[in-house]
Structures are given as C-alpha cells and as structure tokens.
Structure 1
Amino acid sequence: MLKKVISKTIQLPDNRVITIETGKLATQANGSVLIRMGNTMLLAAVVAKEAPEEGGFSFLPLSVDYQEKFAASGKIPGGFLKREGRLGDHEVLIARLVDRAIRPLFPKRFNSEIQINISLISADETILPDALAALAASSALSVSSIPFNGPISEVRVARVNGTFLINPSPSLLEQADINLIVAASDSSILMVEGAMSEVGEADMIAAIRYAHDAIKLQCQVQKELMEAVGVEKTIGTTHHASAIVCYPIALREAIYADLYAVAKQHIPSKALRKEAFMAVSNRYREQLAKDQNGQEVTTTQQKEWLDELENQAIRALILNENVRLDGRLLDQIRPIESEIDYLPSAHGSALFTRGETQSLTTVTLGSKFDEQIIDRAMEDGYNRFMLHYNFPGFSTGEVKPNRGPSRREIGHGNLAMRALKAVLPPDKENLYTIRVVSDILESNGSSSMATVCAGSLALMDAGILVKAAVSGIAMGMITDPTTGRFAVLSDILGDEDRIGDMDFKVTGTYQGITACQMDMKVAGISYAMLEKALHQAKEGRLHILEKMAETIAAPRLDSKPHAPKIVTIEVEKEMIGAIIGPGGKVIQEIQKETFTNIDIAEQGYKGIVTIFAGNQEMLEKAVSRIKTITARPVMGEIYKGKVKSVLNYGAFVEFMPGKDGFLHVSEVRLERIENLEDVLEVGEELQVKLIGIEPKTGKYRLSRKVLLAPDVVAAGG
C-alpha cells in the first residue's frame, strides 16, 4: 500500500526553512513526524495505550525520551560497548524541556499511558536540535489520535550584538548575552528556560515576545498539517471514580470551611500543617465512606476528593485575603540563615537555610586532569565547571532508595550551574577545574534556588574570584480564570508549588538575571502576569543578596591553606623538550619528588607549563625546578657544575640542569696538565665560569682556570 506523505514548511525570520513531514516513517505509531532544518533531522513518534491499566492512574503517565544517534554525525560511540546506552544528562535535559511544555496540555483526568520518543537521526553542526524537539513532539501529537490541547512549539531566542535571533548557529550563540528556550501555544507562554549575562527584566520580556511571534507561525503550520491529515481524536479519556463521586452539599461546605480555617491558622511548620489538615479528614472519615446515594467510596477516592477541596481552600485564602499558609505576605521572603567554612576539610563550603529548605554545598578544586570529558553525538571536548544536585528522601521525611540522579536532580543541577557559571572568572584567570555539590538536607520549596545561594557562598569561601554574588528565588502564582484575579507569590512553599499554577525560578546578581526556569501548570501566562512576577522576583533576589552579604561580601583573596595550589609559567618553546626530558624522565622525576601534576602545552611561539600541587611548599619546589631548567646561561656567570665525562683534551661539565659545557684541558688549572684523568673524575663537583658560546652551534665553553687567577683568589674567588 502506498503511503500518503504530507509535508508543510515553516519560514524563520532569516528565511531559513523548517520542514514537517508525516506519513512516511514510523507509521504504526499513533503519530509520527520528521522535522528537518538544514541537515538536522529529528524523528518523533508518539504512542498511547488505548485503555489505561485497570484502576487507572491518579496522574498523567507521560514519558518523554530524547536520544542523539552517534551515526547522525558520523561518529562511533566511545567506551567499551561502542553503542548508545543510558541517556546522557544533556539528552535528559532536552527531554525535560519537551515534557514540561506539553504536560499541562492534555485533557484533565486523561490517564492513558503515553510515550514520546524523539531521535536525532541526522546532525548539522550549524543547527542545534534541542530547539526543534518540542516542535517534533507537538507535531506528532497533533497528527495522532491522542487528545491534546495543542499545538505548541519551542524556539531558542538569543540576543547577539543587540539583535534577537531565532534558533541561531552555535558560533553566534557563543556571542549572545541572552540564550533562552521558550515554549508557547499561539496564545500564551508555557515554559521558559535559559541563561543570561546579567540582563534586565525588560530585556528578558522582549526576548520572550520575539520568540512568541515565531512560535505562533509554527503553531499555525501545525494546524494546517492536522487539517491535511484529517486527524480524528479516537483515544478516549478515563475518569476516576473521584471525578463523579458526589457528597451532600452540606457536608462539602462543612469540610471546606474547616479546611479553610486550618489554612488561615498560618502554621509555619510543614509537618504540623499536614497534621492539622489530616485531622479534618479524620473528623469526617465515617461520613465520607458513602456518597449521597449511599454507594461506598474507596479510601483513594476520598483522598483525591479531599485533596481537591484542600487545594481550593488554600487558593481561595490567597486570592481573598492576600495572605499565605505560613502567614507571610505575598512578596515576603522566609527567614534566611547562612554560614561559610562549615566543613573544615572542604576547599569551600556553605550552609544555606531559608525557612524549611536547607542546602549544604561544597566546592572542590581540581586540576586540568580532573576535567570532565565530553563525548556526544554533536559535541566533543572538556568541561571545567560541574555542579551536582542531590535530593535524598530524608530531606522531605521520606523513605527513598538512592538509585543515581533522577531527571529532576539533573534538571535542577543544570539550572544552578547556569546561574553560577555566568559570574565565574575567565579560564585564563581561573586555572582550576571546579566541582560544586549541593546536598539538600531539608526541603519545603525551592531547593534549587537554595543551591544557587549556597553555591555562590561556597565559591567565594573557596577563593574563586567570581564577578558577583548570585541568589535565586522561586515564584508561584494562583489564578482564577473566572474572575481574572491572580496573585504572585515570592519564595514559594512546597504546598504552594503543589497547588499553584506556576513555578518560576529566577537567579541573578545585583546587576541582572543570569538564569531562569519557568513551568506552567495551566495553559499559559499573560505578559502582565510575567512582568509582575519578574519585578517581584527582582525585589526578592536583592533582599536575599543582602542577607548573603552579611555572611561573606566578596571572595577570599586566596584559596585555603589546605586547598591545592595551581600556577602557570611561560617558557620558550624550545625549552619544552628540556622540561620533559628523554622519554619523559625529567618531568616524571619532578612530579614524583614534588607530588605535583604538570601539564605542558604549546601556545604559539611559547610553552605554557601548568603546575598543580597539594600545597604551597610543593608548588614552590616544582616551580623552582622548572625555572632552573628553563633558565638561560649568562656569559661571565659562575656556576657550580658536575663532571659528566673526562677525555684527554677536556671534560664535559653539567653546569645547569640539562645544560653541558666543555671545559678544555687548558682551562682547568693555571699550570699545564699532562693527564686530565689524574686531575678530574666523573661526578666531581667544581665551580666553573661561562666564558663563551659558539654562535653557530650554541655550545658552551667553560673555564675553571680563571677562577684560580691570583686576583680572583685574592678577592675570595
């Protein structure tokens, strides 16, 4: 049977073209598309089970995977297996960009299991695939039989030399001071994530608006594709029993009033607040066992119904009274405590606590040999700045086995890494490989932002000369679609994140924003809401920076005594061989004696020697050895040498490390010598003077006789 292939094109502002094609590849999936831009090609396939598992899910069982095939860029994977394996962190991060954008757009209570697979099958080094992944996923969903309140799309927007660009090349992206991935429908913003170089709130909003204009066109083309395909949404939705359970109105009103009263008590402790809400549930347990028709209601159905009622009460409290669960005003930040140098053996450390959220963060300084090796389908190289975020179960009082970093941990760590990387000194000024690790010890909202604050403090404690301190804050929002009312919340609690409509994390310095991550749990946000959230976030960010400055206002001027030391020395290119020695003998000997790591690289007409030592004493010892080897002999200078070999007509004397000179028999003593072997022996040490350098050969001529002349002896020579 011949396949019906349908394609549509999208024209970007700079006249580059994106093609969407369906009907040719992966046709047994519920929906599949091929996205092409230049030589970059992404295949997206989406499948869903026709009916959910028995009993259904209490959540949307959606999984999104993105994978880059090494063959796409003509490469064979590294390692022993030589095949694609576990998804890399960068692939997980791209999958998260897609997941977070599309998850809010499925019908409420739709709980068929859905899987979206996106594969990079052809790579173009001038076109980054991450900005096309959500377009591929949305297009596949749009042409499928799966209910989806799309279409949506994502684009990268960057500002280069004051000009906004959509999906720019990597070379242009390196020059950008704004680098954002924006997801949106044709009517509202859904997700924003990216990094910036301390830019203002107005600049960020302008970038989002520019991105949204491009997204609107991509959404329109997807609608045209749907119409051409003739999509019929046949996979049905399944409603939980809790969606149709009905209780007497009087019972509902009584429970709602009690839940509202608990919310209004402003209990600061998460645990005590949970107990108070549970007490309301327990008080009505018997009455909730049966609905208004006398039918039995399961415990799961009761819990879901009560949770929904609790959410409504908390949201109403915030909108009606402009006050929050813990009694704070909408823009009020929780109490902050911080300290540095908390761990005496770490190279840098900080403990940052905001309310019931706490991060213990360490900084470890390493050498070039500690760099992370990057081996990806589209990228090779090294990474000298790493940030890892750990979220153990005990931080929220839960039992959770440690099974490696979750997607959430990878995403939060990447956000904090971007936030802090913006203020690091250039590589030529910072020779260390830096690893920052945030261990969340307690969590009740915005642990990733606590990581940013603790990471900034720990870097300054380690003596890294950061440009400025960085703080982070998580913003939330409660909206009422019926009335149009909304409330923006600063420094949200975990409960406010759970029941809210937005999670907007913003990091920055006193000068401007360095990174952001926004997720919407409803279908979008208006620009008025976005502007208010950003300006309120700035006030909170500056308040937190002031609190951090009370702990440490500027980086230490030097690393701690027990921290490793690192230095670079420029040498003449021709001296590199002397430092390395035959078969690496000299450099290995220096490293062994001084317990250092030494790296040598050519740079133009000079050599760069980088020495990494465990302490200052060993560093100075290694530096002295290198400088001795690379020192240039000076005419007329007196040296202490060692006899290397003796011949009838003279001896070869090593007067500097790696430098031999010839001591003619006539230059050994004032009187004539018949047999030099009777006067000198191999290994003997003696003082010699450099008296000549052959212009053509560069050989050195030495004399001992001139040091024995009467005038020299009289002068103490």
Structure 2
Amino acid sequence: MNVITKTVQLPDGRTISIETGKVAKQADGAAVIRMGNTVLLATVCAAKDAVPGTDFMPLQVDYREQYSAAGRFPGGFTKREGKASDNEILTSRLVDRVLRPLFPSNYHAEVYVQVMLLSADGVDQPDALAGFAASAAMACSDIPFDYAISEVRVARVNGEYVINPTFQQMADADMDLMVGATTDNIMMVEGEMKEVSEQDLIDALKAAADAIKPMCLIQTELSKELGTDVKREYEDEINDEELRDQIKKELYTPVYDVNKQALEKHARMDAFDKILADFLEAYDAAHTDLSADDLEEKHAEAHRYYDDVMRDAMRRCILDEGMRLDGRKTTDIRPIWCEVDALPMPHGSAIFQRGETMSLSTCTLGTKLDEKMVDDVLGKSYMRFLLHYNFPPFSTGEAKAQRGVGRREIGHGHLAWRGLKGQIPENYPYTVRLVSQILESNGSSSMASVCAGTLALMDAGVPIKKPVSGIAMGLIKNPGEDKYAILSDILGDEDHLGDMDFKTTGTKDGLTATQMDIKCDGLSFEILEQALMQAKAGREHILDKMLETMSEPRAELKPQVPRIETLDIPKEFIGAIIGPGGKIIQQMQEETGATITIDEADGKGHIQISAPNKDSIDAAMNKIKSIVAVPEVGEVYEGTVRSIMPYGCFVEILPGKDGLLHISEIDWKRLETVEEAGIHEGDKIKVKLMEIDPKTGKYKISRRALLEKPEGYVERERRPRPDRNDRGERGEYRPRREGDFRPRRDDDRHDNYNRRPRHDDDRYEGGGRRFEHKDNVEENNGSNENNEHNAE
C-alpha cells in the first residue's frame, strides 16, 4: 500500500487529516477524512464513456451515515439502514451543488460520489466534512475536474466566527451557515440566522473563504503527489461547428426580438420553439442527401446550439438594454396577490401569487402526540414545527405523473422551514405543520412558500414573533466583462440561463435564512453585498404587500382547531397522574374525552391537555389539579366513602388521598356502627381535615366538626396516657383505687393480671393464654406443667 496522509489546521488549532491508499483502492478515487474521532470515507467512480445523446452532467452524490458509527442499532423491524433520511439527502444536495458546476461543460460521463460516516463521537458535526471529503476523493482520481473545493460550517458564537463548530458550541450560535468554495470563489451558501444584518452574513462568508483556501491547496498537493493532476482524456461531444455558426447567425436576432416582447412564459416558449422548428424544416429541405439517422443527430446538435443562442440573447438584452424576459427592469418585483382563509376547514390557509408563481399553503395545529421523531445516527430529537413542499407537474404545465417526494422538494421545503421556524414561540403548545402546494411555477417557488406560509400561520392564529418574506436574486455576468446586472425576483429562465440563484428570507429586522448557488467563475464580495442590499429592498416591498392582506395573527383560533391547555406540576406527582400501567391517565381521558400528554423536563412535569371543546379540557384540568393538590389542615373536602370498618370509615378526600373518619368523629352522639349515621360505601360526604400525622402522613378527618354541637353537650373527660421518658419507659400510673377493678369476662381475650411476661425465647400460642418454651418442648412431652404454672 502506498498510503499518503496530509493534514490541515483550522483557525482554532484543531486538525483535519486526509488519508488515501489504504482502503477502497479499486475506486477511481478514495479518501478518508478524520477530525478528532469523526471519520468519513469518500469514494468516486466515473464511467469510461458517456451515454450517447447525453447533454448534461449525470452526477449522483450520496451521503450516508452508518448507525455503527455511533455505536447504535438502527430502528425498525429489519435493524439495518434503510432509505436515506432527510438529513442525509440535504447533505448530499449541499455537496452536489458545489461539485456540479466545476466539471467541464462538455464532460457527460456518469459520475458517482459516495460519502460514508464511519465513526462519530457526537462532538464534531460530520456533515461539515462531507464536501471536503468528496473533493479529496476527486483529487485522488483522474476524473476531469476544474478546481478543488471544500465546504465548512461557519457559526457566530458569542460574537466570534467559528469554523466547523462542535454540537455544544452550536447551542449558543446565532448563525449557522454551510459554505462551499474554491481557492478564489464562493460557490455555494446555505444556512439559517437569527435576524442578522447583511454585513454580518458577508463577514461570515469571508471567514469561511479564509478557512477553505488551505483545504483546497492541500488537495492540489495531494493530486500532484499521486500523479492524478493529469486528467483522463474524453470526447463526449461531437460538434458541427458549421451548423453552430449557422444557427447563431440566423437565429440570434429573432430570439433577441422575442426577448424584447415581454411575453408570458408559455407564449414566450412557444415563440422560441417556432423559431427552431422553422429552421430545422428549412435545414432538412436543404439536406435531402442526409439519412434519417443523420438528420436526427443533427437535430440533437441543433437543440444544443440553440440553447446557447437563447442564453446569449437573453444575457445581452439585460446587459445592453436593461430589459428582462417579462419586460421588467432589474430591480422590479412581479405583481403580488394574496388571500387568507382561502379554504373553509384547514386551521389556516393562504394563497400567495407573485407573477406566474403561486403557492397555496395550509396550516394544521396538533398536539404533542403529532410531533415528528427524528431518529438520526447521532441521537433522537422531536420536531414540533414541520414544513412540507410539494411540486406537482401541472404547476409547470407538464403532462406526466406525480411520483414520490424528490430531493428537490425536500431541499426547497427545508429552506422555507429554516426561514420560518425561528418565529414560532418557544412555549407555543401546538405542533404546527405547514404544507405548501405549488399551483403555478415560474421561478422562486420556495420563497413563495415562505410568504404563503407566513400568511397561513397568521390565519391559523399562531402568534408568530414577526412576519417573514423571501426573494430570489439572480446575476448576469459574462466572463472578461466588467459589466454585470443583479436581478430581483428572478424567473425560471433567468435562474437556468443566469449565473446566480441567491435566495434570502427575513423579517423587517434581519435575515433568517439564505441559499446561494454560483455558476460563474468569479463573484466578488462587492457584488455579493450589492445583491444582498437589493434583496433587502425587494423583501421589504413583498412584506408590505403581505401585510396589506393580513397585518397580524388572528386573536382567536378557528372553531375547528383543537384547544390546548398546559400545566406544570411538581416532578413527584407524575407517577400519581399516570397511575399503575397508565390506569389513572387513561381513565381521565375516557371520562373527559380529552387527550392528555405528560413530559418531564427541567425538573418538572409538563402536562398538555387538548380537546375539541372547553368543557372537556376543564374536566380534565380539574381532575389533574385534584391529584396534585396538597391537602391542608382546616380545609373542607367533599370526599367519597371508599370502605367501612367497625371503627369508622375511609374517605377519599382527593384522588389517591384517603383519610380515616373515626366513628367518634361522625356525629356528636355515640354510634355503635357507621351505618347508624346513614353512611354507606360510595356516598359523598363533607369532612374537615383536622390533622396530618407528621411521621406517617396519615390524614385525620372529622364530619361532626361541620355539624352544630347539641345544646348542653358535655365532652367526656379522657385520662391522658403517660408520656415515655428518654429511655422509652412510661411514667408511673396512679395507684389502683377501690372500684377500679374490672371483673374478668368470659369473652376477654387477654388475661391482664395472670399473663406471664414474655421472654425473648418464648413462643405464644392462642393469643398468650398458653405458651411453650422452645427449649422444653421435648421435656414436657405434652404434659400440663405449663398450664399449671399459668394457674399458679
């Protein structure tokens, strides 16, 4: 093995190592990245030749986490890793978006990049290393690739920018950004912030760029040492330069004229298609000597060259005349239309339309039972705010079936979720789910989801901290030219044919989320700053339009929304509320019709009660309060008679708390039995708590204390029992006087005068009337000696 190891140091002194040549040697390129106890393996394999007819970059990036990396078993019946989680898909997208633009434009062979998490101790965040690992594997291969890249996470912790922060440091961060870049240029940004300024974002990008440079340089050194700096030869495109020149010469002007007509999306595409169709018809008529297969090949090439013409014409129209495809100027925002309460039964709903992009968002409010459990390799967590984004084919007029949720939908929904999640109050009792259905799409549908989601939350009565709006920015900048144009609220074609897709969301006070993809070779921080300030102006304009429709959340929830009440109780009462095997809490839910959940946190029990109506909630709340209530001496309680004994009865004054009502405390008159007072099991009676035994905690209650004392009643004097001294001995009784002697009755069980003091070794039988000494059992032989001794 030819093992090569390189290391790079982060600004805080931690190191990241790259090792190659030990494992996965049959892949085109493989690298093991290690930071502390976090280890990732990245591999890359590319097909030798491109599939005929392919005119795009068929790149597939997969990031997967092994549960064994953290010493855990996967959940589920099969106990093995299944399909990629949302977190793995999002990380894969981050790597894909920074790698894809750096392959040669004419390279179309299939490339597969796989990154696996092999070890993790829960200290360092592994997804921050995935982009670095993927690029290092590319550097170890001969696959054509223009520049080495890397990715880092940058967070602002206590005012300081930290590169690749630990999980613990992230708890105090107000910015969380993933940044991908080459040595010279920022290529990708995605993250969330807590209403920070545009300048704060620029400073974070600069800190990330400085940290990425040495990572890229060390990959260049590694590639030279391995000899992979010389890339493989390929010939994935066969071009007809004569046809290319003919199309550019004949079709550029008609395409440019269509750009200036400011047509709507489908009319514009129909006009573009007609221009190409007319050209191909004339071309076929002029080349009757070509076979059908040859003409089909020429048509495919013509489509590729025509895309270049459309791209050049659109860009020149913007740069030279400041006119965009729909007739707007570079800073103009498309017309906006909003509506709330669009649907009768969802808890909240809103429609937001900007130009030809429309989102219908619905808000659903649920209980704690509706939270989403996230079971990732590095731990379990629960999400109480969810946002799902759906992009059906009809939104773009495509005639095809709708399949399962794709990576794009997960990524767009996650960006909108990041933009809004910080505005949900921390102590809000409901679980919130937003669903954005894209009904029309022509650019910036994820930002439309943010705007429609904000209105749907307010329509549902969610007390969000501040409303949020979003906008997508574009850039037109030709290589070698100083002139450029920053576009506000871009169209789909401007995204596809332009050089930048820069999305930002925020409140009136600052940014909450961002996503940026760069497609050109260079982008200065000056351009970035200008784009951010132009985005701020556009975002504020959109927010004003939204607030004209609904300025604040509803004061009251809609009738169909389940009501929720919360209650905090001492930790020691959790078991009493749940009961053995959940018996008590299940009984309360059956009797009241409410849903009750209880959770322990911060040394308390947090209870959530939900029901369709207030009566059910109040009934459940009263039952819980009675369980956790602490009886107070002197208070009057309406209790339930649970059992009757000869000496009194036991009354449940509070759930799970019984007190003894002695027979002498039932009434002022003397009673022989409890039933004489008309008391039976199950009866409700009022009693007063007289005393709580400090040692046993038993409750002494009285019923007669609540009854009027009869006139002339004289309390019987009771002789107090003598107290014990400090040695446990009782004080002396007064001498027995004449008349004190009580003759023995036949039914007496104890002979108090003739009873022999018990010895430690004595064993009594028959209640003390007869005893046998355990040492004399054999000697007595059943004799009556012991009885004679008792008689004496």
User: After alignment, is 249-258 or 202-211 more displaced?
Assistant: 249-258
Please tell me whether the aligned partners of residues 223 and 229 of structure 2 are also in contact (alpha carbons under 8 angstroms).
Answer: no
What is the rounded CA distance, in whole Å, between the counterparts of 2:319 and 2:590 in structure 1? 68
Q: Which residue is 2:431 aligned to?
A: 433
> 1:284: which partner in 2?
279
1:221 equivalenced with 2:212 (yes/no): no
CA distance in 2, matches of 1:184, 1:676: 87
Determine if the alignment matches structure 1 residue 257 to structure 2 residue 240.
no
Which residue pairs with 2:303 in the alignment? 303
CA spacing shift, 1:195–1:56, aligned 2, 3 Å: same
2:45 match: 47
Equivalence map 1:267-416=2 (5 Å): 267=263, 269-289=264-284, 297-298=295-296, 299-416=299-416
The answer for the alignment partner of 2:147 in structure 1 is: 150
1:88 aligns with 2:88: no
Measure how far apart 1:579 and its partner are.
Answer: 2.3
CA–CA separation in structure 2 for the residues paired with 1:526 and 1:458: 38
CA contact (8 A) 1:247 1:292 kept: no
Is the 1:642–1:655 contact (alpha carbons within 8 Å) kept by the matching residues of 2?
yes
Distance 2:431 2:401 in 1: 30
Maintained 8 Å contact 2:668/2:710: no
Q: Considering only aligned residues, what root-mean-square deviation do their CA atoms show, in Å? A: 2.1
What SS does the corresponding residue of 2:173 show, helix, strand or coil? coil
What CA distance in whole angstroms lies between the structure 2 residues aligned with 1:536 and 1:351? 25
Whether 2:150 is the aligned partner of 1:162: answer no
Contact 2:311 2:497 in 1 (8 A): yes
**Post-superposition shift, 1:604?**
5.8
Give the match's secondary structure for 1:555: coil
* Correspondence for 1:639 among 621, 637, 641: 637
2:652 is the alignment partner of 1:657: no
Q: Secondary structure at the match of 1:481?
A: coil
Q: Is the alpha carbon distance of 1:594 and 1:108 closer, same or farther for their aligned partners in structure 2, counting shifts above 3 Å?
A: same
Q: For 2:509 and 2:261, locate their aligned partners in 1 and report how far apart those are by CA, in whole Å.
A: 38
- TM-score scaled by length of structure 2: 0.86
SS in 2 for 1:408: helix
**C-alpha spacing 1:136/1:706, structure 2 compared with 1 (3 Å):** closer
Structure 2 CA distance, aligned partners of 1:602 and 1:61? 50
When the two structures are superposed, what TM-score results if normalisation uses the length of structure 1? Answer: 0.94
Task: For residue 218 of structure 1, report the CA deviation from its aligned partner.
Answer: 0.9
Indicate if the aligned counterparts of 1:245 and 1:291 stay in contact, CA closer than 8 A.
no
Using the TM superposition, give the Cα deviation of residue 459 of structure 1 relative to its aligned residue in structure 2, in angstroms. 1.6
> Is residue 417 of structure 1 aligned with residue 417 of structure 2?
yes
Deviation at 1:293, TM superposition (A): 12
Contact 2:50 2:236 in 1 (8 A): no
1:176 to 169, 173, 177: 173
Q: Percent identity?
A: 50
* Equivalent residue in structure 2 for 1:188, among 185, 188, 191: 185
Contact 2:357 2:443 in 1 (8 A): yes
Equivalent in the alignment of 2:670: 672
How far does residue 71 in structure 1 lie from its aligned partner after superposition?
Answer: 1.1
TM-aligned CA deviation for residue 628 of structure 1: 2.5
Residue 556 and residue 248 in structure 1: after superposition, are their counterparts in 2 closer, same or farther (change >3 A)? closer
Structure 1 gap ranges (5+): 713-717
Would you say 1:202 and 2:193 are equivalent positions? no
Q: Is the 8 A contact 1:111 1:237 kept in 2?
A: no
The aligned residue for residue 738 of structure 2 is none
Which is worse superposed, 568-577 or 641-650? 568-577
Change (3 A) 1:559 1:581: same
Task: Indicate how the Cα distance of structure 1 residues 702 and 478 shifts in structure 2: closer, same or farther if over 3 A, else same.
Answer: same
Return 383-392 or 300-309, whichever deviates more: 300-309
Any conservation in 1 of the 2:139–2:229 contact (CA below 8 Å)? no
Alignment of 1:518-597 (within 5 A): 518-597=516-595
Q: Is the 8 A contact 2:49 2:236 kept in 1?
A: no
| Counterpart position of 2:493 | 495
Q: Is contact 1:567–1:612 with CA below 8 Å preserved after alignment?
A: yes
Report the CA distance between 1:165 and its aligned residue: 1.1
Paired AA for residue 703 in structure 2 = R
Contact 2:689 2:699 in 1 (8 A): yes
Answering whether residue 245 of structure 2 is matched by residue 246 of structure 1, we say no
Are the equivalent residues in 2 in contact too, given 1:392–1:400 (CA < 8 A)?
Answer: no
Query: How many angstroms does 1:285 deviate by?
Result: 2.5
Partners of 1:106 and 1:290 in 2: CA distance: 38
Q: CA deviation at 1:538?
A: 0.6
Q: Is the 8 A contact 1:73 1:124 kept in 2?
A: yes
**Contact 2:469/2:505, CA 8 A, preserved across alignment:** yes
Question: Equivalent residue for 1:104?
Answer: 101
Aligned to 2:34: 36
Structure 1 partner of 2:696:
697
Which amino acid counterpart does residue 437 of structure 1 have in structure 2? V
Which amino acid letter does the alignment assign opposite residue 88 of structure 1?
Answer: S
Q: Deviations over 1:433-464 (max 9, x none)?
A: 22211111110001000011111111222222
TM-fit CA distance, 1:18: 0.9
Mean CA deviation greater in 535-544 or 429-438? 429-438
Query: What amino acid is the match of 2:565?
Result: V
SS in 2 for 1:566: strand
Contact preservation (8 Å) 1:184, 1:524? no
Larger deviation, residues 204-213 vs 453-462: 453-462
Determine the structure 1 residue equivalent to 2:706: 707
Change (3 A) 1:658 1:523: same
The one-character-per-residue Cα deviations of 1:318-369 (angstroms, maximum 9, x if unpaired) are 1110110111110111111112222222122211111111111112122222
Which residue does the alignment assign to 2:208? 211
Q: Which residue, out of 450, 455, 477, partners 2:448? A: 450
CA contact (8 A) 1:50 1:235 kept: no
SS in 2 for 1:104: helix
Would the aligned equivalents of 2:276 and 2:306 in 1 still touch at CA under 8 Å? Answer: yes
Query: Is the contact made by 2:244 and 2:305 (CA closer than 8 Å) also made in structure 1?
Result: no
Q: Name the CA distance, whole Å, in 2 between partners of 1:376 and 1:134.
A: 20
* Matching residue of 2:599: 601
Aligned amino acid, residue 639 of structure 2: G
- Please give the per-residue CA displacement for 1:209-237, whole angstroms capped at 9, x wherever unaligned: 11111111111111111111111545333
Is the 1:648–1:677 contact (alpha carbons within 8 Å) kept by the matching residues of 2?
A: no
Alpha carbons 1:645, 1:651 under 8 Å: kept: yes
Residue 773 of structure 2 corresponds to none
Instruction: Tell me, yes or no, if the aligned pair for 1:56 and 1:111 is still in contact at 8 Å.
Output: no
Partners of 2:121 and 2:646 in 1: how far apart? 70
Contact 2:393 2:401 in 1 (8 A): yes
Tell me the CA shift for residue 658 of structure 1: 2.8
- Aligned-partner Cα distance in 2 for 1:325–1:570: 59
Q: Who is 1:626 aligned against? A: 624
Aligned to 2:778: none
CA contact (8 A) 1:42 1:119 kept: yes
Task: State the Cα distance separating 1:496 from its structure 2 match.
Answer: 0.9
Give deviations 1:524-547, integer Å, cap 9, x for gaps: 422122111111111111111111
* CA–CA separation in structure 2 for the residues paired with 1:378 and 1:43: 17
Q: Give the distance between the partners of 2:710 and 2:606, measured in 1 at CA.
A: 44
1:715 corresponds to: none
Asked if structure 1 preserves the Cα contact closer than 8 Å seen for 2:24 and 2:43, the reply is yes
In structure 2, the CA distance between the partners of 1:179 and 1:285, relative to structure 1 (3 Å rule), is same
Tell me how far apart the structure 1 counterparts of residues 4 and 580 of structure 2 sit (CA, whole Å): 67
Contact 1:347–1:364 under 8 Å retained in 2: yes
Q: 1:27 corresponds to which residue? A: 25
| 1:399-427 superposed Cα distances (whole Å, 9 cap, x missing partner) | 3333321111111111111111122212x
Alignment coverage as a number of residue pairs: 705
> Taking CA–CA contacts closer than 8 Å with sequence separation of 6 or more, which of the two structures ends up with the larger relative contact order?
1
